[in-house]
Structures are given as C-alpha cells and as structure tokens.
C-alpha cells in the first residue's frame, strides 16, 4: 500500500504529518543565526618574528626562508605568503576549509620549534597567531570632538565607551582604531646630553631602575596592622622631569628636564584617522561567531542612542559604517521576492485549475515544505543568509510542482467522472512514481553542488541542501496532504469545473491540447528531425556560451566604495597628509551632493602596517532609493579627478560581491628566483598593460626606489673602544625611531613612557654627529666615529608566494570588462613579453577564486549530469530512457545562455549554479512524459500511440509546473536594490532555460521516445513473465510461498 493510499484512508495522520513538519521547522528556524553569506573564509595561521636592527634582505635570508622551509608541506596547506621588511618577518599560511584551525596552529608551532636554534640569537621568538575570519568588525562607531584633541577623545572612548559597547548582547569585542593613545613622551636634547657627559643609555637605565613600585611589607603592633606602600612610581610630567639621571661632567646632579622636554602627548602621531575631514576614532564592533549580525548591530545602535545622554557636550558619537545594513536590506528584498513569487505561483495554478479550492490545496505545500527545510539547516549548522533565502524563493516554484502534478492527475480523474475517494487514490497512485523520480533527480542535481570541493562547495552547499530539503519535504506533502485534501475538498463536480470563466479557460486549454496533439501526430511521422533540432539548438547554445564574458561573481552595488591611496617612495608624513586632504576634498563632494554619507580615511593601507605612504578610504553611500547614481557610476565620477592628482595614485573600486579574496579584482603573481629579474618582467608587463584602457591603476608590491641611509658600523674600532654593537643599535633606535622604556599610571590606566630625539635633532644625516655612546671604560665615544653613512635606494620589503620570490600586480577593471577577459589579456601579455622558463604565474584574491572555482563548477555540472543519468537508469530500469529524458538538458542550457546574452549577463558562480539547476528542471518534464508513456505501453498500446497519448495527457502538468517555476524566477529578475545583481543572474538563467526547454521538450521527447523506446521492454515485462511461469509451474509457486 502506497503512502498516498494510507493518507486518504487516515486523513488525521496525513494532517498530523504536515503539522509536525511545520512546528519542528518553526522551532528549528528560530535557532538559526543570520549572516550575509555562509562562512567561506579559510583557517589562517601567521608567524611573526622580529629581529631588531636587521634589514629586509637579512630578514628574508636568515628568518623567512628558514621558517618557510620548515613549515612547508603541512597537512591541508593551500597557500603560503610572506613579507620580509626591516626588523620583521611575517609568514601567512592558508589551509583547507575543513582543516581545524587549532590543529593547524599546533602543527605550525611544533614545526617552528624545531628550527629555533637556527634563527639569529638576537631575534625575538616567533609569535604564532590564529586569524579568526569570523571575527571581522561589522560596524564602526565614530567618536569625535570639535574642541578636544584626538588623544583626549581616545582616552575618553577607552575609559567610558569600549566597555559599555562590549557588554551588548552578541558582541564579542570592540576594537578601537585611529586612536592616539596617551604616552609620556621624553624628547631628548642630544646637545644637552653631550654637554653633561650623559648618553641615551644612561637615561633609559635610570628610568627603568627608578620608576618601580614594590611592596614594602607591613608594620604589626599588638592591636593594629599597617600595610606599607612605597610611593616610588612616577606619574606626571613633573615627576619625570625632576628625576635625577646622573652626575654631569661638573659633578652636580642632572635632572631629566635639563636634557629633555617631558610632555604628555600621543604615543604615535604618524597616522591619519579622519571622518568627513574631522579627526576622531572608530570603535569596531566584532560580533560573536554564531550571532545574528543584524540583531547585534541594531542592539549596538540602541546602546549608542542611550549613551548619547551621558556624553559631554563636546563629544560626538554616531554610527559611520554598518555592514549589516546591506545584509538586512538584501534579505528584505529576497523576502519581498519570496512573497511575490508565492502570489505569482498561486495565480498560475488558478489559471490552469479554474478553482480557488483546488488552488489552495497545492498552495499549502509551499509553507510546509520551506519551513520544514529549516530542520535540516539547523542540524547541519547552516544559517539564514542571502543564498538560503534565494533557495527559498526558487523553492516556491519547485515545491509546488509535485503537489500540482498529483492534484492535476486527481482533477483529471474527477473530470472523467471518478468519485472523490477513488480519484484521490487512483490519481495519486498513478503519478506516485513520477513524483518520486523527479524528487530524486532534483536532489541528485543539488548534491554535487553541496559536495563540491573548496569554497564553492561551502558557499553553495547551504543553497543546494536547503533547496533539496524543501523538494524532499514537498514530495512527502504531495503524497500525503494533497490526496487527503482532494478527497475531502473536491466532492462536487463544481469544484472541478468552477465558474463560467473557468469553463471557458478549460475549453481554451482543450483546444490547445488538441492543436498540440495534431502537431505531434505530424511530428511523429519524421521523428529524426528532433535530433537535428537538438543538434542545432545545442550548437547555438555553445556559440552563445562562447560569447559570454566570465567573472567570479557579478559586480554588486553594496552601498560602499573604497579608495586606495599610494604615495611616492620616501614621501614624508606632512606630504601625504596634504595629498590625502586633496583626495578628501574630491570625495566630500559626493557627501555634499547627497550620494555618500561620509568619508572615512586611515593611513596604513591594506596590510601595510605603519607605512605612511599608503592609505585607504571607506565611503558608505546613501541607501539605493535615496541617491541618483549607482555605486559604479559614482566610482566613475571620482576616478577622473583623482587620476589628475600628480602626487599620489588613488584607485577607486567596489568591495568584492562575495566578500572573498579582498583587495582589488585583478591580482596576478609573478614568481622567480631573483627580485631584479622579476622586476624586469614586471616592468615589461606593466608597460603593455598601460595600453589597455580597461585595466585601471595597476600597481606592484615591490618598490626598489625607497630612499635609505645605510649605517655601517666599524666593528674593529667599536671593539677597540669597548663599545657594543647592541648599544649602538639601541641608541640609533631610540634617538631616530622611538623606544618604550617603562610605563606610568594615570587614573587607573597604564601607559607607555617613550624616548626619542627632539624633532629638530633628526632632520639630516649630520645630526648623528653629536650623539654619544659610552665605552666599557666609561668614556664617551661620538657615534659618528663608529659609523659611516651611505645614501642609497632599495626595496623596503620582500614578498614571497608559495616559497618563491614574487611580485604581485594588482589592478581594477572598468565596469563591463570581465575578470575572465582581463586574466586572458594578462596571460597573453606575459607569454609574449617573458620567455623564461624560470617564471611561474600564480593568482591571488578574487582572481585566484575565479581560476579555482571555474573548474569546480564545471566538474560539479558533469557530476550532476552523471548522477542524474544513473538515478534515472535505476528508476526506469533502462539506459535508453535516461538518455531520452536528459536530451532536454542542452536545450535548457541553450535557453539559459540566450537569457544571459539578452540581458548582458556574465558567466559566474551564480549563473553556472543556475545551469546545474537546469539539469533537474529540464529532466522533470521529460520524466512526466516518459513515465506515463511507459504506463500506457504496459497496458498494451504501441509505442507511437502510447507516447502521443502520454504527451497529450501530461501537457497540462508540464505547462503548470514550468509556469510555476517561471513565476518563482520573475521576482528575482525584476527586483532591484541590494543584492539584485546576483539574484537577477540566477533568475535569468533559470527563466530562459525553463522557457526554451518546455517548448522544445514537448516535441523532442515524444519524437526521440518513438525512435528509441521500441528497443526497450515495458517495465512490467519481467513481472508478466514471472506470473506466466508461476501459472505453468503451480507446485513451484506454492513451495516458494510456503512459510
């Protein structure tokens, strides 16, 4: 007995099944967190090593290469990059998505420990850190003042705001950026030190020795006990200034304020942090890993509103960047599309069924199936995100298909005069195999997407599993709830024939069916023409495929723009400040025009650390409905004026659509043996690239023009005078750089004490002449007598990519120029300009994702096609029937390619995912025709007559299910606003594929079936043979059934 038979006989059981699915789905859905996309960021472990005084080339040779050789080959490592610069080595390792980050960090730590003895003794121990990519800030809160200094604003934010925002429910941490932390700055006067016979080391040693706080014990008497606290710490500029640091040449005590100017000032002033040209600080809100970022950010906004009443009158605080805003608006757009799709699908069913009562029955399967899918998502740890909501929209057109097919067949039985109970039982039983077959095929299509390797599998795994789960539950509901409701709600003929208007629509459809039958009769006289048509359409589809540009993901207007700024090598801080101000003037015009909300600029660039020649600017835009131009148009308006700035390079671009890869779109890595050779290749390639106006602002990460002064130490003379090289290096670092030597306490907070030469004492190389160090004998030795200065230029840092020396070329692309076209152009240029076998090419960022994902998607497509073929072969017990059914796939793909060409779309992960979906959608219609034709053959009809009758009978469900699918895609295509580019791409592919395939399938499948099905036996052949044998051998039959 089939489950549909049980449901008709036990209606309460059928209703309870759907209610249980609904309740459990709602409970599971309430536990799901909300994100924009699934987490596709890989585990990353970094090794950071400092070697004071060492140049970049020494760092690369003695530290970076040693560590890279040891950690290479770790399990699951997919990429290793490194940067060697003065005094610092940073190695970054990226692992497979399924690699446990704690295990990876432990493996790295164990490997590094093996080579510690091979590193320079003066180098600090390597620091190994895990980079949790789930811990990115999703909101920035700006704190500023018109009257207070940035240092005072920073201090106020740290004391009063960071902790208040950090305890908001769902917040993991609050990161303060752009601040200027207070410090006790000791500005040393080299002439005053020299005149009193003191050195920098004398000052440092005295500060460390005298600025201490130790417990002094206690005094105990008979009745009382006192704890003693020795007040020996220094806390104010006056305390530090009065500190005796030694005896001068005359023998009198010398205080610190005689040889230095002590002031409470920012610890670091070589940075820029401004919002709308006003200096301030930003508080980055980092949500907890599984938190609902939309809810967390809203809670932070509420807390900011509450804090407004506690702020001093001269302190301003507001939200300057809210990355969840795009997420929330994008999800609202998807939810709108979901309800629109629901309405369109219901109207399609009403159009074909001519009855509101009949329309409500399959309509109930939509909420039950989609909500029940939340159970599977919760079990697998999935989230509510843009892709799972997109799956819900597409599911509306798919989950109703099974119910429509069952309902249509029951209605057909009612139209033929069967009573409601028999119509429900016979109709659902007759179509049950087709429902199961289409469900299995659709699920088998989505599984390869979910199981695809790499980021594509993770990214679209949730999409595929959510959609497949909804389809599975829809088939269960279609075989339980629908037959039961039909037996109860369609008791009169009026429920079928409906109104006069409905009868007219019924007559019109019967006329359409008659015309189709007549056309099919003529087509079956020359069925071979169907194969010719398939070949022609497939060739056209391939041609259209070749014409499409390719990219990783469609460019999306995310309401945000980024400006990267790169100044000339050796530019001063004041020079960069002036250039950045000009960039702000250009960008602020968009704020004044109402297109952007603010400009937020920071020095340091993308991973440039303390590099003052690099900066980046965030520009949050107004919401889509409040501005006149798209982000792409605004970027185009800004590129012209910024390109005219002579002193810096400013590159305007949009953040990546999928938040993957980061940085600029085009990133090509040249790898070789020597930097000089790679730099020569770089220059040749960049000269050719400048001829392509569609590639914007190409830069490299290797700069050999950094002005330098090499300080060579005369080791023999230093040894002869008894001066250690360490003291020479530390003196240079303190006077020309800065050095933290101790700390002080201010109102319960601890801050650094920083020593540095006064600004006028570090302007020219000759300023080294009056700096002294002390020899072992106690004599003062002028530093100039121990060192020699040599002006030169050279690279400031050395990059390596997968253990090879490398130079990375990065650029942006003009709108309409796809990443695939740009990469093809780059590969051609490199092949023409560089004929050297030692050169190897690699990719990074979005370019790397594009190259890797292309093969994964195509592999998933072929795998889905193979699985569908095998599943159909197992279901139909034939290898010919799957071929007939899947012959419609190239037709659907041709329709998808036609749709993309019409709207000017591209091939990307969204459109290719739509192509994979078309396998199941195209096969579904073929299954309905082939399966019913096989039933008619089992009854004894000839092949041609069986397929003619089967195709005509299944015309209405084929059209209904196809139109329902089309109805589910229309809201995706016509929608606007956040996230519309990705939705439109997927919708166009599915719409074009379904429309073309449904028209051609209705002719091609019957014709090919008529040609090939005669080579197969009806499914009941073996059953009949067994029954015949049992009749001829009754004794054997009785023995086989005996207990």
Rounded CA-CA distance 294/44 in Å is 26
pLDDT of residue 707 exceeding 70: no
DSSP single-letter state for residue 550: B
Q: Which of 863, 960, 926, 975 is nearest to 363 (CA)?
A: 960
- We report the CATH number of the domain holding residue 908 as 1.20.1640.10
With respect to residue 278, please indicate whether it lies within any of the assigned structural domains.
yes
Are 937 and 972 contained in the same domain? yes
With respect to residue 1000, please indicate whether it lies within any of the assigned structural domains.
yes
Residue at a domain's end among 298, 322, 346: 322
**Residue bearing tokens 């700390």:** 743
pLDDT of residue 411 exceeding 60: yes
With respect to residue 1036, please indicate whether it lies within any of the assigned structural domains.
no
pLDDT mean over 179-196: 86
> 586 to each of 594, 842, 918, how far by Cα in Å?
14, 36, 47
pLDDT tens profile 210-222: 887 776 677 777 7
Are 473 and 549 contained in the same domain? yes
Q: Which two tokens stand for residue 813?
A: 């692309």
Are 110 and 25 contained in the same domain? no
Are 148 and 230 contained in the same domain? no
Are 929 and 996 contained in the same domain? yes
Q: Read off the pLDDT band of 481 (50, 70, 90).
A: confident
- We report the CATH number of the domain holding residue 631 as 3.30.70.1430
pLDDT mean over 366-393: 86
- We report the CATH number of the domain holding residue 275 as 3.30.70.1320
pLDDT of residue 704 exceeding 80: no
More confident residue, 449 or 780: 780
pLDDT tens profile 790-821: 776 667 788 899 888 899 998 888 877 888 88
pLDDT tens profile 18-60: 899 999 999 998 888 877 777 777 788 888 888 866 778 888 8
pLDDT of residue 536: 93
pLDDT mean over 7-12: 85
Q: Read off the pLDDT band of 607 (50, 70, 90).
A: very low
Are 335 and 247 contained in the same domain? no
Instruction: Kindly report the backbone phi and psi dihedral angles of residue 894, in degrees, each rounded to the nearest multiple of 5, phi listed first.
Output: -60, -40
Q: Which two tokens stand for residue 771?
A: 């700096």
CA 582 to chain centre: 32
Are 872 and 1001 contained in the same domain? yes
Q: Which two tokens stand for residue 986?
A: 């997927």
Question: Residue 574: helix, strand or coil by DSSP?
Answer: helix
pLDDT of residue 424: 81
Residue at a domain's end among 619, 654, 689: 654
CB 138 within 8 A of CB 293: yes
Are 295 and 404 contained in the same domain? no
pLDDT of residue 387: 82
pLDDT tens profile 57-99: 888 888 899 899 988 888 888 899 998 887 788 899 988 877 8
Lowest mean pLDDT among 364-378, 716-730, 922-936: 716-730
pLDDT of residue 608: 41
Strands (E), 665-705: 666-672, 695-700
Are 907 and 980 contained in the same domain? yes
Q: Considering Cα of 831, then 832, then 836, then 837, what sign does the dihedral take?
A: positive
Are 632 and 598 contained in the same domain? yes
pLDDT tens profile 1014-1042: 777 665 666 667 777 777 766 554 555 54
- State which H helix or E strand residue 614 sits in: strand 614-620
CB 980 within 8 A of CB 925: no
CB 164 within 8 A of CB 157: no
With respect to residue 1039, please indicate whether it lies within any of the assigned structural domains.
no
Q: Which of 83, 85, 82 is nearest to 94 (CA)?
A: 82
- We report the CATH number of the domain holding residue 203 as 3.30.2090.10
Q: Which of 12-26, 128-142, 279-293, 1027-1041 has the highest mean pLDDT?
A: 12-26
With respect to residue 238, please indicate whether it lies within any of the assigned structural domains.
yes
Rounded CA-CA distance 857/845 in Å is 18
CB 406 within 8 A of CB 479: yes
pLDDT mean over 648-675: 78
User: Taking the CB of residue 906, how many other CB atoms lie within 10 A of it?
Assistant: 22
Burial 954-970 (b: 16+ CB within 10 A, else e): bbbbbbbbbbbbbbbbb
Domain count, the chain: 6
pLDDT mean over 692-717: 77
Are 985 and 862 contained in the same domain? yes
pLDDT mean over 916-921: 85
For the chain, how long is the longest CA-to-CA vector? 132
Are 760 and 872 contained in the same domain? no
Q: Which two tokens stand for residue 218?
A: 């206690």
Percentage of residues in the chain having pLDDT higher than 70: 92
Instruction: Kindly report the backbone phi and psi dihedral angles of residue 665, in degrees, each rounded to the nearest multiple of 5, phi listed first.
Output: -65, -50
Question: Residue 778: helix, strand or coil by DSSP?
Answer: coil
Q: Is 220 exposed, middle or buried (0-12, 13-18, 19+ CB in 10 A)?
A: exposed
Q: Which two tokens stand for residue 510?
A: 């019967």
pLDDT of residue 20: 92
Residue at a domain's end among 307, 322, 337: 322
Q: Is 239 exposed, middle or buried (0-12, 13-18, 19+ CB in 10 A)?
A: middle
CB 272 within 8 A of CB 580: yes
Lowest mean pLDDT among 35-39, 190-194, 872-876, 997-1001: 35-39
Q: Read off the pLDDT band of 663 (50, 70, 90).
A: low
Going by C-beta distance under 8 Å and a sequence separation of 6 or more, which residues neighbour residue 378?
28, 29, 31, 32
Q: Are strands 749-757 and 182-188 parallel, antiparallel or unpaired?
A: parallel
**Residue bearing tokens 């960039």:** 583
pLDDT of residue 1038: 52
Rounded CA-CA distance 1039/930 in Å is 38
Provide the residue range defining the domain that includes 99: 44-131
Q: What average pLDDT is seen over the chain?
A: 82
Q: Which of 661, 663, 655 is nearest to 614 (CA)?
A: 663
């Amino acid at each position: 007995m089939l489950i549909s038979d049980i449901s008709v006989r036990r209606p309460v059981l059928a209703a309870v099944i759907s209610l249980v699915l609904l309740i459990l789905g709602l409970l599971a859905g309430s536990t799901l967190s909300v994100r924009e996309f699934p987490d596709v960021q890989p585990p990353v472990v970094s090794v950071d090593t400092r070697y004071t005084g060492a140049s970049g080339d020494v760092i690369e040779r003695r530290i970076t290469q040693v560590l890279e050789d040891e950690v290479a080959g770790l399990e699951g490592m997919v990429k290793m990059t490194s940067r060697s610069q003065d005094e610092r080595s940073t190695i970054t390792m990226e692992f497979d998505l399924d690699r446990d980050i704690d295990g990876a960090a432990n493996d790295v730590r164990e490997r590094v420990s093996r080579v510690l003895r091979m590193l320079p003794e003066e180098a600090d121990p390597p620091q190994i850190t895990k980079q949790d990519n789930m811990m990115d800030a999703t909101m920035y809160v700006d704190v500023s003042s018109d009257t207070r200094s940035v240092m005072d604003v920073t201090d106020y934010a740290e004391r009063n705001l960071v902790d208040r925002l950090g305890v908001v429910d769902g917040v993991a941490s609050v990161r303060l950026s752009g601040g200027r932390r207070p410090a006790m700055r000791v500005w040393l006067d080299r002439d005053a030190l020299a005149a009193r016979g003191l050195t920098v080391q004398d000052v440092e040693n005295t500060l460390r020795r005298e600025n201490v706080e130790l417990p002094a014990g206690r005094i105990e008497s008979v009745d009382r006990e006192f704890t003693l606290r020795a007040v020996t710490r220094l806390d104010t500029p006056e305390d530090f200034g009065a500190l005796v640091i030694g005896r001068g040449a005359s023998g009198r005590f010398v205080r610190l304020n005689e040889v230095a100017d002590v002031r409470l000032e920012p610890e670091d002033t070589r940075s820029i942090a401004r919002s709308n040209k006003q200096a301030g600080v930003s508080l980055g809100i980092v949500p907890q890993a599984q938190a609902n970022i939309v809810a967390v950010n809203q809670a932070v906004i509420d807390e900011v509103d509450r804090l407004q009443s506690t702020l001093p009158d001269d302190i301003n605080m507001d939200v300057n960047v809210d990355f969840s805003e795009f997420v929330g608006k994008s999800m609202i757009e998807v939810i709108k599309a979901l309800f629109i799709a629901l309405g369109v699908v219901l109207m399609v069913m009403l159009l074909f069924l001519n009855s509101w009562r009949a329309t409500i029955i399959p309509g109930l399967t939509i909420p039950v199936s989609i909500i029940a899918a939340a159970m599977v998502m919760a079990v697998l740890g999935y989230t509510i995100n843009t892709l799972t909501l997109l799956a819900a929209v597409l599911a509306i057109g798919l989950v109703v298909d099974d119910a429509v097919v069952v309902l249509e067949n029951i209605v057909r039985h009612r139209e033929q005069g069967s009573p409601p109970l028999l119509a429900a039982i016979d109709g659902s039983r007759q179509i049950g195999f087709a429902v199961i077959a289409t469900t299995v095929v659709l699920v088998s299509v989505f599984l390869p997407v979910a199981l695809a390797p790499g980021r594509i599998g993770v990214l679209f795994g949730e999409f595929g599993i959510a959609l497949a789960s909804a389809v599975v539950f829809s088939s269960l509901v279609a075989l339980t709830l629908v037959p039961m409701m039909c037996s109860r709600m369609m008791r009169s003929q009026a429920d079928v024939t409906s109104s006069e208007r409905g009868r007219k629509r019924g007559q019109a459809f019967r006329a359409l069916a008659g015309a189709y039958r007549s056309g099919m009769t003529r087509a079956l006289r020359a069925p071979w023409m169907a194969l010719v048509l398939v070949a022609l359409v497939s060739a056209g589809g391939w041609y259209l495929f070749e014409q499409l540009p390719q990219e990783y993901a469609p460019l999306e207007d995310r309401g945000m723009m980024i400006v990267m700024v790169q100044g000339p090598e050796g530019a001063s801080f004041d020079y960069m400040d002036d250039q950045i101000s000009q960039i702000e003037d250009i960008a602020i015009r968009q704020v004044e025009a109402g297109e952007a909300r603010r400009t937020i600029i920071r020095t340091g660039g993308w991973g440039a650390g303390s590099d003052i020649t690099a900066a980046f600017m965030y520009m949050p835009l107004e919401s889509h409905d409040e501005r006149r131009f798209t982000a792409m148009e605004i970027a185009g308006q800004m590129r012209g004026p910024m390109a005219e700035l002579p002193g810096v390079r400013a590159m305007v671009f949009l953040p990546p659509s999928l938040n993957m890869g980061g940085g600029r779109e085009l990133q090509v890595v040249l790898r070789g043996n020597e930097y000089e050779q790679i730099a020569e290749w770089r220059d040749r390639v960049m000269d050719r690239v400048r001829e392509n106006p569609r590639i914007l602002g190409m830069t490299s990460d290797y700069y050999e023009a950094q002005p330098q002064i090499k300080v060579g130490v005369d080791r023999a003379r230093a040894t002869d005078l008894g001066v250690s090289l360490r003291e020479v290096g530390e003196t240079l670092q303190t006077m020309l750089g800065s050095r933290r030597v101790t700390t002080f306490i201010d109102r319960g907070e601890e801050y650094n004490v920083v020593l540095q030469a006064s600004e006028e004492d570090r302007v020219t190389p000759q300023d080294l002449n009056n700096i002294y160090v002390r020899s072992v004998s106690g004599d003062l030795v002028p530093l100039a007598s121990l060192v020699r200065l040599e002006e030169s230029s050279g690279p400031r840092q050395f990059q390596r990519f997968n253990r090879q020396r490398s130079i990375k070329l990065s650029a942006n692309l003009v709108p309409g120029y796809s990443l695939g076209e740009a990469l093809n152009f780059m590969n051609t240029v490199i092949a023409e300009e560089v004929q050297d076998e030692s050169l190897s090419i690699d990719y990074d960022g979005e370019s790397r994702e594009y190259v890797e994902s292309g093969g994964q998607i195509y592999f998933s497509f072929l795998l889905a096609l193979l699985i569908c073929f095998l599943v159909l072969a197992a279901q139909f017990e034939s290898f010919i029937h799957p071929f007939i059914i899947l012959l419609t796939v190239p037709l659907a793909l041709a329709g998808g390619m036609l749709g993309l060409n019409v709207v000017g779309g591209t091939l990307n992960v969204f459109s290719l995912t739509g192509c994979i979906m078309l396998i199941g959608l195209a096969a579904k219609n073929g299954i309905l025709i082939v399966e019913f034709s096989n039933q008619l053959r089992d009854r004894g009809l000839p092949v041609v007559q069986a397929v003619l009758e089967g195709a005509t009978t299944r015309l209405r469900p084929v059209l209904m299910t196809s139109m329902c699918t089309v109805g589910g895609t229309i809201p995706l295509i016509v929608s606007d606003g956040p996230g519309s580019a990705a939705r439109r791409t997927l919708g166009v592919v599915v719409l074009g594929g379904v429309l073309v395939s449904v028209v051609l399938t209705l002719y091609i499948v019957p014709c090919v079936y008529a040609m090939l099905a005669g080579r197969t036996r009806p499914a009941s052949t073996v059953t009949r043979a067994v029954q015949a044998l049992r009749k001829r051998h009754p004794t054997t039959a009785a023995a086989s059934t005996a207990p």
